[in-house]
Each structure stands twice: as structure tokens, then as C-alpha cells.
Chains A and B, each alone.
Chain A
Amino acid sequence: MTRSISDIRRGLAAGDFSSVEITQDYLSRIAQHNPALNCFISVTGDIALEQARQADAALATGEAAVLAGVPLAHKDLFCTDGVRTSCGSRILDNFIAPYDATVIERFKRDGAVMLGKTNMDEFAMGSSNENSYYGSVANPWNTRHVPGGSSGGSAAAVAAGLAPGATGTDTGGSIRQPAALCGVTGIKPTYGRVSRYGMIAYGSSLDQGGPFARSAEDCALLLQTMSGFDPRDSTSTEQAVPDYSAGLGQGIEGLKIGLPKEYFAEGLDSRIAGVIETAIAELRKLGAEIRDISLPNTSLSIPTYYVIAMAECSSNLSRMDGVRFGHRAENPVDLEDLYKRSRGEGFGAEVKRRIMIGTYALSAGYYDAYYLKAQQLRRMIKQDFQQAFADVDLILGPTTPETAFELGAKTDDPVSMYLQDIYTISLNLAGLPGMSLPVGFLDGLPVGMQLIGDYFDEAGLLNAAHCYQQVTDWHLQVPEAFR
């Protein structure tokens, strides 16, 4: 069950097994392990088997699409026609999406099979998957620890072999951080690379969808399907999509990699720093040139991010009002009551906190001090990166300051949770692509390394990660309980 997607494609093409067979395998693993891990909110067994049957038929004719028969899981933030799309929230617990997100349409077009919708922090707000209406997700490496968030369900599903690949979304690190904590590979592309149509919005100018898989090679395949211009998304770019798979294995001789001194300062666990150093040494052996750089405004990225994300989400979530869909309070006495109780009952505490801060930041008298100021700092942070990329091709650092912490360790203090995002957040502000790949373990828990690329250099990131993964095997490790 540690088959890669590439393996699956080869096996299906060779007739070693059928899509129905492997889909059934995954479905029974999900039935066996999901109670303990809680990765899935909805399992779409019937749909999956029907899609698998159709894929097998297409494969038999030799005219199959590129991902025909490959089973995947999707974060419950992507609208799936006829299937519950909850965003991990009570307010959408009864929301059967009446249309497919563009990303979902593309996976269907490419023949993939949908195993189910994965658990997540409510409305993508969280770094531990402890904010879900459907309960926490457990980290397959140690089930008393968090998998990371907000795409915790997808990361854990891939780590435990419940799906060979999964989709996630990343607004402040929600793909990269859980990838690091679960020991899998994940990539957040450049803003505008993947369509946001049907991807329920949290921070509209920050959100991007991206894949999780066991390797950069697999991520390249999934990202290929997800990427590309969508006329239904005004923020979608018309920039051409390169062939990510063809771009792998180019070697990284002479590649200039920058290490921001701010990412290796105090606050970083010294043992994590040690693991990262070992990974850097591997990259040196492959011919990469390592340089010191500076991203001076790094520390400002957290407050900047939270103001912008909270302001945008406070507005994005206003449509959840109990009128046209979703949870509606019983027997509302008037309109005010309908709104307040539907939303009060439907949203969890973290979501309510963020809506309120966002509302406050935008309100009369505070706009300049908060929102406008944050947008100015955002430009300064972007400029830091632009200056750095004048000197280097990629930027490298740890993905997270700690390995997976224990369930409940940070739920009493929202701010301590926000500080988990220190290395991942600034890229979302700048719109740059970033990925996390596993580079070691500490006390049995995975350590992730982050690579940051310049705009639309997903190919460069995937290639570098792939070269590293050809000479190391951290990405092939599987937690004992799930072998």
C-alpha cells in the first residue's frame, strides 16, 4: 500500500491489476484505519467503484486519460457535485454541492477515482486539524500527535497509505506544514496557477490548491492535472503550464540555493536545524551552491498574514447565512435571529474569532491601521523575496519550527498556534510557490524541509526535490502501524 502513483499507472497499463481492485484495496484500508485516524469526513465508495469500472474499460481500449483509474482523496474544501462538501464545519454539514470545482472537473477529465473527502480544520483555519466539527485527525506516525493543518486529513491519508495522493489547499502553510508533520511531499503552487473556482474561499488573495503524494514525481503528475487557466476565476493566470514530469531529473549542478538567516535564528529547535543541515549537505553533494541570504521582514509576516486572511475571510463567510443552503437555526423569531443563531451554531470558535478580528480590522476607523498597513507590509515582504531571487534560484529552510506536537498542546492559546506558520506564511503573502519534502525524523516524528521558488518555477522546485529524493529514502518511509 505504499505504491506510488507512478507505480499504479504502470501497473494499470501493464494489466498487473485493475482499478477496481486497487480501489477496493484502498476502500478497505480506509474502513480499517479511518476510525483511529479520522482522515475522512465522507467516503464515496459507490462513486469510486463506478469511476474505477469506467477507467478499466477505457484502459482496455488503450485510450485512457493520463490518471485513469488512479484513486485519490480530496480535501473537503473542493465542491464535489452531488457529494457533501463540509469544509470541516457544522454550517455546511448538510451542504451537498450542486457543482464541481474546476480542480475536481479536471481530475474527472483525467480519469482519476475519488475515494472520499478528507478532514480539515474548519474553513481551512488552523494548523493542527483540531478545529474540525468532525473531530481531530491523528498523525499516523504517532496517533497522540497532530497531523498539522488545515489539510491534516489529506496529509495523514497519504502518510498512512489510505490514498496514494490527495488534494489540499494552502493559505498560510496548510499543505506544506501537514506534509512536513506527516512525512509526505506537498506543493503549493504560485498564486493563480490552480483555479480557485469551487475551492471554498478563506483568504482569497492567499489561497491556492495543490497536491500531496509520496514523492515529487507523483506531485508533478497531480499538479499537471490541477494547473492551468480557468476563465471562471479572474485571478487565474494565462501563463502556459510546462510539462512538470518531463522537467524532472535535470540535475541541480550549479543551482543556487539561498538560506535566509531569519529562518535559522533562535526559535528553531536546534535538532531540527541539524536535520536540515544534513539535507543541505546532500544537496551540496548534488552540486548545488549554497548561499546566505536575508529576508528581513520575515517576523512581520505573521501579523500581516493574519490581518489580511481574517479580513478577507470575515467577508467571504458572510454568505453562510442559513438562507439558501447550509445550517439554519430552528424557529427563527426574526431575520436577525436567523442570521445570528444559524451562524453562531454553525461556526466553531476559531472561525468565529477570525471573523470577528477581520470585521474589526475592516471597520470604520481601523482600516488604515490594520488592513491598509498589512497590505503595505505585504509589498515589503514581496520585495524581500524579489531581491533574494536576484541572487539565488531557490530558497531553503525548515518547514516548521517544531515536529508534530501533541493533540491539545496548543488549543488553549490561539496565538501559539499561529506561530507555527512562521516559515510558511510569507510565501502566501508574496504569491510564490513552495513545497515541503521529508528529510528525516526526530523522536519518530517526521521533519520537513521547505523549498521556495520564484514565480511559476514549480518545475524548478519539483526537479530539485526529485533529485534529492533519488539519493535519499525519507519519502519512502511508512509508519509501522500502516505497513
Chain B
Amino acid sequence: MSDWESVIGLEIHAQLATKSKIFSGASTAFGAEPNTQACAVDLGLPGVLPVLNREVVTMAIRFGVAIDAEIDHHSVFARKNYFYPDLPKGYQISQFELPIVGKGHIFISPSEGEHKEIGITRAHLEEDAGKSIHDQFPDQSGIDLNRAGTPLLEIVSEPDMRSAKEAVAYARKIHSLVRYLEICDGNMQEGSFRCDANVSVRRKGEQKLGTRAEIKNINSFRFLERAINYEIERQIELIEDGGSVVQETRLYDSERDETRSMRSKEEANDYRYFPDPDLLPVAITDEDIARIRAELPELPEQKKQRYVDELGLSDYNAELLTASRETASFFETALAEVPGQNALLANWVLGDLAGALNKANLDINDSPITPSMLAQLISRIADDTISGKIAKEVFEAMWQGEGGADEIIEARGLKQITDSGAIESLIDAVIAANPDQVEQFRAGKDKVLGFFVGQVMKQSQGKANPGQVNAILREKLKP
């Protein structure tokens, strides 16, 4: 493996989150009964014509601006001709020579501290095809054209990635970006974010690219990593055994964790691209681009930098917090109520909250603990009302719906004991009860302090302020 290098490029199809289709006024809502959202235009009935959805153009330009890409003032739709039952017109309206978004780039951090630039060759608009199902009828396939005409943005990367890990980092970055830009909901299970990987290998030092295979049917980041790794190994083994890689499309089988050649779908299709005469060139002005740029939300890259520079968060935490717009938004909303508690809040969001959400399989948007509620909990820790340890108990109670932090602290009597007099009494009692340990401590066994702290905490049901307990104990245990 060490004298081999893998070269990977990704083609991502992001379904744009518009209400209606790219060329017709039918709905794009997911999950409808078959063919109930396929209007005459989507069905490709004789005589129908396409009309372009404005929002689709805006969303594509938004993406282009966010990846610093060239945006042509003149963009053209082309017909990609081939026959398949889920393609009603016998051609797909796509873009060929003049895509709406040209060359751009994005930065990834495949591992902590690492920064790599990945080039994006182009992003173009096209219409999605319908769906075929093969298990409903004995000798026939069923065609549902609800999805036909849904707008897609096809994002093509340069073959700049050198490992499955980099590919996944890139895919995640694009995923996060399209959600930040609110142009795609990124739902991989529903098929609104699809990744195809182009994988080839070559010996280290070689300039020429090896023959590549295209891997399709990957619907999670985990499978993306596994599929690419499988394919790299397969190709290396093949070449080392004296064979050569065939340029083909392969499907990833997640159950067997392997890639398989597709049944000759690729007889080198001649798509016979030509500009679609039913559509006119799209004119994009500098004003359009400037307006869209001005309306962009703060992007993940900028936000992350701001968290590091202004909030003093670690690069790692900032990256994690900004990975999803919802998490960043939650964090910022909560932070507004406990300004200054950056690090503490970050730890709770990324630690306990993330853990609880994961376990319950919930999105942060569906969290039973709101940003405001979490902020309140944080401020009770910050003002010493409760200790960090007690806070975990309060969090759990909040999660179960017992109310806000203050309510729970009150109801369960969890307020921290900070009155030095009270703590002294507790300590005196513990010291009096454990003379042997006192001897051991005074003899130099420092570790015994922990025993005393533990006893005091136990006597106070965990409510004594640990810092004060420590300080007063040391005082009292002095010889």
C-alpha cells in the first residue's frame, strides 16, 4: 500500500430545496403517492415546454459565491440524450458547456490541525429523473415520476483527494455548506444529497492518472469511506495481480461491503449533448451576484474563525460547533444569555447535550432542552449555585422534562453549600470521625485528602462546594 497513491474525486448531487420543480410548477415534497406530483411537463407529454424556476438560479449562485467560484454571466441548458424509463422525455435537461458555476474551492480538515484546499471544477443545474422500483411486480418494473424534474445541483470536485478520509471530510464540508446556505436539506436517506466517487490508483511519483472507476449508490458518510477503501484495495490487488482497471460504473453493496460492476449500463453512452432549444440562455448580472453575496449568511469557515479568534475556543471545538448550522445556532442563542461562558457552554453542547441527542437519536432542533434552558443551567454552574457534578443530575432531570434548572434545583434541594461555616462543621465532623486517616495525611500521604473530600461530599449529598471543601480541609488538616 505504501508505494501506491489513490486519487479520488467526488460528484455530489444536491437536491435544491425549492417548493416547485426546476422546470414546472409541480410540488417537490417528499413521500407522495406515486405519480401524484408529476404534471404534464414532468411526464414529458407531447407539446409541453420547460420554464426555469428563479429560486433554483439564486440557490446555485449562492453556492458559487460561497466557494469563491467564477460565475458566468451567460449560462446554457443542454439536452443529455439517452433512453431509460425513469427519464420521460428521453433526454435530461442538464448543462454542458456553460455551467452556472465555474471553478471554485473549499478547505477541509481531515484530521485536527490539518488544512487542505480541494478544488471544485464546476457546479451545474439539472433535472432529476424519476424512480424505478423492481420489487412490486413480478416481471415488470414500476416507474414513479414524482421525482422527475426536481432541481439538482451537480457539484464536481477536482481529483484532489488522496484518501477515503479526505473524501469524507470534503463530502461533510459540502454537506454542511449546502445546509448553511439553506439550498439543500442534506437528507441522505431520502436521497436529497448523493455522493458518487471516482477512484483510481497509481504508483507514488507517477504523474499520469490511473483508470478510474465510478462508485454509485452510497447513501451515508460511513459507507462512502468504506466503499472508497474497498475500491482502492480492489484496484491495487487487481494491478498487482497483473490485471488492469476497467473504466466502469460500480455499485456499492453496503451489506457485503464491496463494489460490484453494474450490468453494462455503460455501453459508452453517446449523450449527443446540444443546447436545449426550448430554453434560452440565462443572463446573470454583476448586480445579481452582488445582491446574493450580500444576503449570504455567515459561512461555516468564517464562523469557525470567529469562534477561535473572538471566543477563544479551540480549533477542534470550533470546527465541531460550526459543522452544522443548527448546532452553531443553538450555541449562539444560548451564549447570548450567558455571555462570557464560551468554553463552559461549548463543552456542555459538545459533551452532555451531544451525547444525549445521539442516544435518543434526535436532531438538535428537537432537543427537549432549549438553548435558553441550557443557558440557565450554565449560569448556575458559573455562579456556584451548583457544582459541575450536580449539574449533570440537573441536566438529566431537565432532559426528562422536569422543568428548568432553577425549578429542579429548588425542588430537589440541590443548591451548593457555600457557607464556610456550614462546610467547616461538616469537615470538623468528618475529621473527628476519621483520626487514622488524619494521622496518615499528616504523615505525608497526600492522597488521603481525596478520602476526606469524598466523605464531606457524601455527608453533604454532594452539595458542598468542592473548591471550598478542598481549601478548608487543607487548612484544618495542617499539622
Contact = CB atoms under 8 A, between A and B. Distances in A.
A196 B49 contact: yes
Interface range for A: 35 or more
Interface stretch (B77-85, B250-258, B354-362): B77-85
Contacts of B279: 234
B144 to A, nearest CB: 12
B368 interface: no
Given A234-B51, A323-B143, A363-B270, A92 B81 contact: no
A79 B51 contact: no
B133 interface: no
A199 interface: yes
Contact of B83 (A79, A196, A318): A318
A315 interface: yes
A197 interface: yes
Contacts of A203: 277
Nearest to A320: B46
A235 B280 contact: yes
B202 interface: no
Contacts of B48: 197-198
Contacts of B89: 318-319
Contact of B46 (A87, A234, A371): A87
Nearest to A364: B270
A197 B52 CA distance: 15
Interface stretch (B37-45, B55-63, B227-235, B392-400): B37-45
Interface string A286-317: 00000000000000000000000001100100
A170 B146 CA distance: 34
B340 interface: no
A98 interface: yes
A353 interface: no
Interface string A19-50: 00000000000000000000000000000000
A403 to B, nearest CB: 33
Contact of A234 (B49, B81, B83): B49
Given A204-B278, A234-B50, A325 B90 contact: no
A79 B46 CA distance: 8
Interface string A178-212: 00000000000000000011111101110000000
B85 A197 contact: no
Contacts of B45: 98-99, 319, 324-325
A408 interface: no
Interface in A206-247: 231-235
A201 B52 CA distance: 19
B81 A101 contact: no
A362 B81 contact: yes
Does more than half of chain A's interface fall in helix, strand or loop, or is it mixed?
loop
B91 interface: yes
A234 B280 contact: yes
Contacts of A362: 81, 272-274
A54 interface: no
Contact of A98 (B40, B81, B270, B272): B40
Interface residues of B, number: 28
Given A87-B46, A235-B280, A324-B44, A315 B52 contact: no
B131 to A, nearest CB: 14
A233 B49 contact: yes
B88 interface: yes
Interface in B80-124: 81, 83, 85, 88-91
Given A98-B40, A323-B85, A359-B272, A318 B49 contact: no
Contact of B277 (A98, A204, A319): A204
Contacts of A99: 40, 45
A264 interface: no
B47 interface: yes
Contacts of B52: 234
A367 interface: yes
Contact of B88 (A78, A205, A319): A319
Contact of B278 (A198, A235, A335): A235
A150 interface: no
A339 interface: yes
B44 A205 contact: no
Contacts of B51: 231-234
Interface in B259-282: 270, 272-274, 277-280
A321 B46 CA distance: 11
B91 A318 contact: yes
Nearest to B280: A234
A92 B46 CA distance: 10
Contact of B274 (A85, A92, A101, A315): A315
Contacts of A101: 47
Nearest to B278: A204
A405 interface: no
A215 B91 CA distance: 42
Interface string A76-102: 001100000101000010010111010
Contacts of A92: 46
Nearest to A95: B46
A98 B274 CA distance: 29
B395 to A, nearest CB: 56
Nearest to A204: B277
B43 A324 contact: yes
A85 B270 contact: no
27 contacts: A85-B46, A98-B40, A99-B45, A101-B47, A196-B49, A198-B47, A199-B47, A200-B46, A201-B46, A203-B277, A233-B49, A233-B51, A234-B49, A234-B278, A235-B277, A315-B90, A318-B83, A318-B89, A318-B90, A319-B44, A319-B45, A321-B83, A323-B85, A324-B44, A362-B81, A363-B270, A364-B270
Given A196-B49, A319-B46, 17 more contacts: A78-B47, A197-B47, A197-B49, A198-B47, A233-B51, A234-B51, A234-B278, A234-B279, A234-B280, A318-B81, A319-B88, A320-B46, A324-B45, A325-B46, A363-B270, A364-B272, A371-B274
Interface of A: 78-79, 85, 87, 92, 95, 97-99, 101, 196-201, 203-205, 231-235, 311-312, 315, 318-321, 323-325, 335, 339, 359, 362-364, 367, 371
